[in-house]
């Protein structure tokens, strides 16, 4: 449940009053809520700050990195932090459209484009999570070194 303190903090970050909070399903390790304000909708994810330290900071940075590829609609991070040992991440709400007949073809093309993005090393700028598991992203010059180191 979204605590009154966290609701107030979210309102301050968004500079908007939250009119309605609706629980969403689908998450295994986070509680997720749809926030309705006068002008927009947002999504907030919450979990235990001590169980998953820096998870939402890393997710926010990862989303910014993914958005630079211009391949998928990636939600903007509106803010993250910790209130009373509860970690939170506020995201832009992206309404899902009706799935078109060519959805999977377009998805595959976008995924291929995303994987054409290059950088001078393998890995990522920092460690993050895959679900509840910590993912170590040590930069390596060669793929073989990256795979062996991270296996």
Judged by average pLDDT, the poorest of 6-20, 101-115, 131-145 is 131-145
* Domain definitions of the chain by residue range: 4-92, 120-151
pLDDT band at 96 (very low <50, low <70, confident <90, very high): confident
pLDDT band at 38 (very low <50, low <70, confident <90, very high): very high
Average pLDDT, the chain: 90
Can you tell me the distance from the alpha carbon of 126 to that of 141, in angstroms, rounded to the nearest whole number?
Answer: 15
State residue 64's pLDDT score. 94
Check residues 27 and 89 and name the one with the higher pLDDT. Answer: 89
What does the block give as tokens for 144?
Answer: 């073989």
CATH code of the domain occupying 4-92: 3.30.200.20
């Amino acid at each position: 449940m979204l605590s009154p303190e966290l609701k107030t903090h979210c309102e301050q970050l968004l500079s908007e009053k939250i009119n309605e909070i609706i629980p969403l399903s689908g998450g295994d390790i986070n509680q997720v809520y749809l926030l309705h304000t006068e002008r927009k909708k947002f999504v907030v994810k919450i979990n235990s700050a001590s169980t998953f330290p820096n998870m939402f900071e890393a997710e926010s940075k990862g989303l910014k990195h993914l958005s630079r590829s211009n391949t998928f609609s990636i939600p903007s991070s509106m803010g993250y932090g910790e209130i009373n040992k509860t970690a939170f991440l506020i995201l832009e709400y992206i309404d899902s459209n009706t799935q078109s007949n060519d959805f999977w073809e377009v998805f595959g093309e976008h995924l291929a484009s995303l994987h054409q993005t290059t950088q001078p090393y393998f890995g990522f700028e920092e460690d993050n999570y895959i679900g509840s598991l910590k993912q170590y992203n040590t930069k390596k010059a060669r793929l073989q070194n990256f795979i062996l180191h991270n296996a």
